[in-house]
Amino acid sequence: MNEKTTTNNNNHLLIGGVDALELVSKYQTPLYVMDEEKIRKQCQTFMSSFKHNLVNTEVIYASKAFLNIAMCELIQQEGLSLDVVSGGEMFTAITAGFPASKIFFHGNNKSIDEIKLALDHHIGTIVLDNEDELKRLSSLVNKEHKVRVMLRINPGIDAHTHEYIRTTKNDSKFGVSIFDPKTLFLIQSIHNNPSLEFVGFHSHIGSQIFEENSFKELATTNLKYIQHVKKQLGIEVKELNLGGGFGAHYTKEDKPFSLESFLPQLLETIHLISKELEIKTPKILIEPGRAIVAEAGYTLYTISGTKETFGGKNFVFTDGSMADHLRTALYQAKYHASLANRMNDQVEKNYTVTGKACESGDIIIKDVMLPVPKENDILVVYSTGAYHYSMSSNYNRLLKPAVVFTANGKSRLVVKKETYEDLIRNDLRLGK
Ligand code: LLP
């Protein structure tokens, strides 16, 4: 975010010590830039704060937030495990050489082919969503190679976040409800399957959560359910995954809590509640995505000009669009931006930043104060590291931007910009 930005003597933005304008001339715009040190620092914060001397823990990176081969390598270097949710994410991780034993395969509708891919590569843990998935998995496993499985449960906790990214309402498509008596039968049949090793529960209540209490409530509810399962079925649940959802800072309204103070507290609470409930404290897993990458990301655009409408709205036109920045259109998400080549100029007016896509919903930022933009100014949009590159599309046959990592004054390309040839690579002619 801008209050922590650094600039050089030319009033240009520096990202990981590299001049944003140098990045633009080297890699073109639109461009996704990731400050590598910021990603590493967040990984280290999670790894060092999510510790308790009486509780086993594991931090898993939710790769849906931002994934490519270089990112898998970074996550491996920092010692986190990896959550994948599709054959594509799994294939990327496998190709990067990520240790299969540290991969968790999630998703509410895994296909036979995806399950086979996971089994062929000895993916460490499969997180089952429902009974149908159990049937599919059971038809493919054998006793020689037991598969570690978790079951995704829905504890019905209401996370205070946007409806589209909230996941544990009773009618959520994810997991099985702890209030549904059938869930106990499902747990029993997973446990009874000689080819599966039932290790515990997974839950995820939503994304961009700012309330510490949501996580505490989630942990408490899950621990009580673990006690219930122990009493009813005599099954000891060894591991509990509390999912992701830790909020990030996009604009000054966003107030993420301190991970350094909250994470140890959460573990202490879990330890005490487990004692009270007379259950063995399970190993606790979390899987942050956004909190690891969001604030490390910057998108650079070239401005072509401005337009004041008859109705009095001031548009800034960029070479980007909702194809590389979907969150504003989809979730009415708010962002902050500056002119990366004139960082110290006074902001003067409120603008709506838009791009090239052919529809009125093509809004990158609805309201942002900027100096009066000129042709070829460079706009930087902050906190675009999570769910931007990963949700980008080729709408209007626009090309997906390159991704660059910067650190210690140097940049490296980690994903090439698409070409027109890439766009038509899979197209086939109708013929005569
Ligand atoms: N674990 C599971 C099972 C998840 O479904 C998710 C996110 C995460 C972990 C990571 O959550 P995070 O720490 O990133 O909040 N596209 C939306 C976000 C969708 C999140 C989906 N699941 C957005 O751009 O806001």
Among all residues, which ones are annotated catalytic? 358
List CB contacts of 9: < 8 A, sequence separation 6 or more. Answer: none
What's the gap in Å between 244 CA and the centre of ligand 1?
7
**How does residue 165 score in pLDDT terms, banded at 50, 70 and 90?**
low
How does strand 410-415 pair with strand 402-407? antiparallel
- pTM, whole model, 2 decimals? 0.97
Residue 399 clears pLDDT 60, i.e. is over it = yes
Q: Tell me which residue has its CA closest to atom 19 in ligand 1.
A: 165
- For a pLDDT cut of 90, what percent of the chain falls above it? 94
pLDDT tens by residue, 101-123: 999 999 999 999 999 999 999 99
Q: Is 165 in the pocket of ligand 1 (CB under 6 A)?
A: yes
pLDDT tens by residue, 210-267: 999 999 999 999 999 999 999 999 999 999 999 999 999 999 999 999 999 999 999 9
What's the gap in Å between 326 CA and the centre of ligand 1?
15
Domains of the chain: 6-35+294-423 (2.40.37.10), 36-291 (3.20.20.10)
How far apart CA 382 and CA 374 sit, in angstroms, is 20
Residue 55 clears pLDDT 90, i.e. is over it = yes
The residues facing 337 across adjacent strands are 381
Q: Is 245 in the pocket of ligand 1 (CB under 6 A)?
A: yes
Mean of per-residue pLDDT scores for the chain: 95
What's the gap in Å between 208 CA and the centre of ligand 1?
8
Min mean pLDDT across 4-8, 112-116, 128-132, 413-417 is at 4-8
Residue 381 clears pLDDT 70, i.e. is over it = yes
Q: Is 246 in the pocket of ligand 1 (CB under 6 A)?
A: yes
Q: Is 204 in the pocket of ligand 1 (CB under 6 A)?
A: yes
Distances (CA, A) of 395 to 73, 285, 320, 359: 30, 37, 11, 11
Ligand 1 atom, smallest distance to 244 CA:
13
Residue-level pLDDT at 162: 57
**How does residue 74 score in pLDDT terms, banded at 50, 70 and 90?**
very high
Angle between helices 259-277 and 36-49 (to 10 degrees): 30
pLDDT tens by residue, 286-343: 999 999 999 999 999 999 999 999 999 999 999 999 999 999 999 999 999 999 999 9
Residue-level pLDDT at 1: 46
Both tokens of 383, joined, read 């906190």
Ligand 1 atom, smallest distance to 127 CA:
3
Residue 4 clears pLDDT 80, i.e. is over it = no
**How does residue 64 score in pLDDT terms, banded at 50, 70 and 90?**
very high
Residue with tokens 């082919």: 113
Query: Average pLDDT of 159-176?
Result: 71
What's the gap in Å between 314 CA and the centre of ligand 1?
33
Q: Is 317 in the pocket of ligand 1 (CB under 6 A)?
A: no
Ligand 1 atom, smallest distance to 331 CA:
25
Q: 3-class secondary structure for the chain?
A: CHHHCEECCCCCEEECCEEHHHHHHHHCCCEEEEEHHHHHHHHHHHHHHCCECCECEEEEEEHHHCCCHHHHHHHHHHCCEEEECCHHHHHHHHHHCCCHHHEEECCCCCCHHHHHHHHHCCCCEEEECCHHHHHHHHCCCCCCCCEEEEEEEECCCCCCCCHHHECCCCCCCCCEECCCCHHHHHHHHHHHCCCEEEEEEECCCECCECCHHHHHHHHHHHHHHHHHHHHHHCCCCCEEECCCCECCCCCCCCCCCCHHHHHHHHHHHHHHHHHHHCCCCCEEEECCCHHHHHHHEEEEEEEEEEEECCCCCEEEEECCCCCCCCHHHHHCCCCCEEECCCCCCCCCEEEEEECCCCCCCCEEEEEEEECCCCCCCEEEEECCCCCCHHHCCCHHHCCCCEEEEEECCEEEEEECCCCHHHHHCCCCCCCC
Residue 270 clears pLDDT 50, i.e. is over it = yes
